């Protein structure tokens, strides 16, 4: 949802979970990580890198996680701790079906968001989304490598295309989206 439509309490909760939760876990286990020369794997999102429509607060919280990951990597590398950032692209899940941020106020300050949110919630937003098993396998294989990638992209990269379409503007987004994916455009609303 756009910043202007977002309930501040929901935005704070998103940061509490995504950013402060990541920081709290890292602090809680930092001694063990240093002693074992272990690894931290932070799950970020391509949404944070590309401004995906209707994900303003979520995207910003995931950008904060990416920044935290980079800073922790520098802080913990002298202790032999690896800090891996996974930038998650399109993964086919239904994780948003119970999300509290998917109900737009009426009237919304961001009318095209309604259609995008519908596709996000029912899992049809991302074309060529990876299934969750493929995603998990790629992440785990990377972590277990002798020299893992410190910044891993896992999931389909169609989020970049969707962000570009959104930046064309509200009307253009809806028209181009209809032309590219007519089978996923719900005209019954």
Query: Which sequence positions are flagged as catalytic?
Result: 58, 62
Q: Are 114 and 189 in contact (CB under 8 A)?
A: yes
Could you give the 3-state DSSP secondary structure of residue 163?
helix
- Yes or no: say if 62 and 70 are a contact pair by the CB < 8 Å rule: no
Separation of CA 186 from chain center: 24
Closest by Cα among 106, 107, 68 to 84: 68
In angstroms, how far is CA 160 from the centroid of its own chain?
A: 12
Q: How far apart are the C-alpha atoms of 180 and 166, rounded to whole Å? A: 13
How remote is the C-alpha of 161 from its chain's centroid? 15
Query: Which DSSP category does 156 fall into?
Result: B
Query: Terminal CA-to-CA distance of the chain, rounded, Å?
Result: 18
The length of the chain in residues reads 189
Q: How far apart are CA 29 and CA 6, in angstroms?
A: 33
């Amino acid at each position: 949802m756009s910043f202007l439509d977002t309930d501040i309490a929901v935005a704070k909760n998103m940061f509490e979970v995504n950013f402060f939760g990541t920081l709290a876990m890292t602090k809680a286990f930092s001694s063990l990580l240093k002693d074992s020369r272990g690894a931290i794997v932070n799950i970020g999102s391509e949404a944070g890198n590309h401004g995906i429509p209707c994900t303003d607060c979520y995207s910003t919280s995931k950008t904060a996680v990416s920044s935290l990951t980079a800073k922790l990597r520098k802080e913990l590398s002298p202790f032999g701790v690896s800090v891996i950032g996974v930038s998650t692209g399109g993964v086919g899940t239904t994780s948003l079906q119970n999300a509290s941020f998917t109900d737009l106020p009426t009237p919304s300050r961001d009318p095209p968001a309604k259609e995008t949110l519908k596709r996000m919630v029912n899992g049809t937003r991302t074309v060529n989304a990876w299934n969750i098993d493929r995603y998990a396998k790629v992440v785990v294989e990377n972590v277990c490598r002798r020299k893992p990638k410190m910044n891993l992209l896992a999931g389909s990269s169609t989020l970049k295309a969707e962000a570009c379409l959104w930046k064309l503007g509200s009307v253009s987004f809806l028209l181009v989206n209809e032309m590219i994916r007519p089978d996923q455009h719900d005209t019954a609303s």
